[in-house]
Amino acid sequence: MVPPPLAAREAVREQRFSDVWTNELNDAFADIAPYYDRGNQIAALGLWGSFLRRFMRSVDLQPKQKVLDVCGGTNAIGIALLKREPTLDVHAMDRSAAMQTVGQQRAAALGFNIKSTIGDVHKLPFPDNHFDVVTLQFASRHLRVREVFSEILRVLKPGGHFHHSDMLRPQNAIVKTLYYTYLKACLNFTSFIVGSSPAATKFKQYFIDALELFYTAEEMSIVLRELGYVDVTVDTVFYGMLGFHRAVKPAKA
Ligand SMILES: C[S@@+](CC[C@H](N)C(=O)[O-])C[C@H]1O[C@@H](n2cnc3c(N)ncnc32)[C@H](O)[C@@H]1O
C-alpha cells in the first residue's frame, strides 16, 4: 500500500480507523492487560528491555521534575523513569482502566507512586505549561497524532521536552515487506503462546494496517516541526522500524 501524502494522512487514518479507535480498542486492551508485558517480551524476541533502556537513555531528567506519560498502559515508562530518578513527580494517563490497574500494581510493588488519570488523551486534563517532560511510547498508531501532539505541546512548560518512541513505517520497500511478514508471524505466535482472547486476536490485522498508514521516522519529525516543536531529533533502530524522537517546546520569547 502506498500511503497518502503527509498533508492528507491524518484524514485518511481517521476515516479508516476511527471506528476501531472509538469503539473497539479499549475492549481489546482490557483483554490484553493481564498478559501485555509478557506478550511484548515474546513479540520483541526478548529485546523489549533493551528498547526501553535505549529510550530511557534519550530522556533528559532533572530531580523533582514533573513528568507525564501519555498512554501509560502498564506503567513501563513511569516505573523506568522513577528507577532512574526517584524524586520525580510522575503522572500517567490512559483510557484503559484495566491497563492502569496492572500498572498501579506494578508501581506499588516497587514502592513507587504514579498518579493515574483515566481518560482519552486527545484532551489532556492538565493546565498549560505544566510538565517538564512528556513521554509517549507504543501508542501513537492508535491516536489522532496531530491532536495529541498539540495537546502535549500545550501542557509542556516552555523549554520542556517531549520524548516519543514507537514502531514506525520503514522507508525501504524490502525492509517493509520483511518487517510485516515478521510482525504477522510474531502476532500469531505471541497470541498462541499467551492465549489471547478472540477480541484481542481480531486486532492482529488492524495492527499491521495501522502501521501501513503510519509515519516514517522522517515524516514524524516533519509533523512535530509543523506543530511548533523545535530541536527535533530522531534515533532509529533496524532501518527505521523503530524510532526515538526528541522534541522541545520553544522557550518563551
Ligand atoms: C500498546 S499500549 C502502550 C502502553 C505503554 N505506553 C507501553 O509502552 O507499554 C497502548 C496504550 O494506549 C492506550 N490508548 C489507546 N488509545 C487511547 C486514547 N485515545 N486515550 C488514552 N489511551 C489510549 C491503550 O489503552 C494502551 O494502554
Confidence of residue 181 (pLDDT cuts 50, 70, 90): confident
| Residues whose beta carbon lies within 6 Å of some atom of ligand 1 | 25, 29, 71-74, 76-77, 94-96, 99, 120-122, 137-139, 142-143
Nearest to 98 by CA among 74, 76, 114, 120: 74
Average pLDDT, the chain: 90
Tell me the mean pLDDT in the region 173-192.
75
Q: Whose CA is nearest to atom 27 of ligand 1?
A: 73
Other beta carbons within 10 Å of 248: 18
Domains and CATH numbers, the chain: 6-248 (3.40.50.150)
Q: What's the pLDDT score for residue 191?
A: 63
| Atom from ligand 1 closest to the CA of residue 148 | 19
61 versus 178: which is more confidently predicted?
A: 61
Please tell me the distance between residue 229's alpha carbon and the centre of ligand 1 in angstroms: 23
Q: How many residues are listed for the chain in this entry?
A: 253
pLDDT the model gives residue 105? 97
Which residue type does 221 have? S
Q: What pLDDT is attached to residue 202?
A: 66
3-class state of residue 50 by DSSP: helix
Q: pLDDT by residue (tens digit) across 239-249?
A: 888 999 999 99
pLDDT in tens, 80-96: 999 999 999 999 999 99
Q: How confident is the model at residue 146, as a pLDDT? A: 97
What spacing in Å lies between the alpha carbon of 93 and ligand 1's midpoint?
9
pLDDT digits (tens, 9 = 90+) for 7-56: 999 999 999 999 999 998 898 889 888 878 777 776 666 677 788 989 99
CA 141 / ligand 1 centre spacing (Å): 10
Quote the CA–CA distance of 122 and 79 in Å, as a whole number: 23
> What's this model's pTM, rounded to 2 decimal places?
0.93
